[in-house]
Amino acid sequence: MSTAADAVRHAEHVMGTVFSVTVRDPGPGTAAALERVAARLHRIDAVFSTYRADSDISRLDRGELGIEGCDPDVAEVLARCRETAAQTGGWFTARPGGRLDPSGWVKGWAVEEACRILRAAGSRVHCVSGGGDVQTAGGPWRVGVAHPLRPGALAAVLTGRDLAVATSGTAERGAHVVDPFTGRPAVALASLTLVGSAGTGLARTDAWTTAAFAMGPDRALAWAGARPGIEALAVLPDGSQRRTAGLARHLPPAGPADWTLRGAPVNA
Please tell me the predicted confidence (pLDDT) of residue 132.
75
pLDDT digits (tens, 9 = 90+) for 73-89: 999 999 999 999 999 99
Around Cβ 76, how many Cβ atoms within 10 Å?
Answer: 11
Query: Could you write out the three-class secondary structure of the chain?
Result: CCCHHHCEEEEEEECCEEEEEEECCCCCCHHHHHHHHHHHHHHHHHHHCCCCCCCHHHHHHCCCCCHHHCCHHHHHHHHHHHHHHHHCCCCCCCCHHHCCCCHHHHHHHHHHHHHHHHHHCCCCCEEEEECCEEEEECCCEEEEEECCCCCCCEEEEEEECCEEEEEEECCCCCCCCECCCCCCECCCCCEEEEEEECCCCHHHHHHHHHHHHHHCHHHHHHHHHCCCCCEEEEECCCCCEEECHHHHHHCCCCCCCCEEECCCCCCC
Please tell me the predicted confidence (pLDDT) of residue 264.
42
CA 204 to chain centre: 8
Please tell me the predicted confidence (pLDDT) of residue 265.
45
Quote the CATH superfamily of domain 4-261: ApbE-like domains (3.10.520.10)
Distance, in Å, from the CA atom of 149 to the CA atom of 166, rounded to the nearest integer, reads 17
Please tell me the predicted confidence (pLDDT) of residue 178.
86
Pairing of strands 126-130, 141-146: unpaired
Q: What is the pTM of this model?
A: 0.91
Pairing of strands 259-261, 141-146: parallel
Please tell me the predicted confidence (pLDDT) of residue 163.
96
Please tell me the predicted confidence (pLDDT) of residue 254.
67
Q: What is the mean pLDDT of residues 14-18?
A: 93
Please tell me the predicted confidence (pLDDT) of residue 267.
35
pLDDT digits (tens, 9 = 90+) for 193-223: 999 998 899 999 999 999 999 999 999 999 9
Please tell me the predicted confidence (pLDDT) of residue 161.
96
- Kindly give the interhelix angle for 202-215 and 72-87, rounded to the nearest 10 degrees: 40
Please tell me the predicted confidence (pLDDT) of residue 262.
55
**Would the pLDDT of 59 be above 60?**
yes
- What percent of the chain stands above pLDDT 90? 82
- The sheet with strand 17-23 has its strands ordered as 8-14, 17-23, 126-130, 133-137, 163-169, 191-197, 231-235, 241-243
**Would the pLDDT of 176 be above 80?**
no
Please tell me the predicted confidence (pLDDT) of residue 173.
64
Distance, in Å, from the CA atom of 234 to the CA atom of 253, rounded to the nearest integer, reads 20
Please tell me the predicted confidence (pLDDT) of residue 5.
59
pLDDT digits (tens, 9 = 90+) for 220-236: 999 999 999 999 999 99
Least confident of 44-53, 137-146, 158-167, 175-184: 175-184
Q: What are phi and psi of 42, to 5 degrees?
A: -70, -35
Please tell me the predicted confidence (pLDDT) of residue 55.
98
> What is the dihedral sign for C-alpha 186, 179, 61, 102?
positive
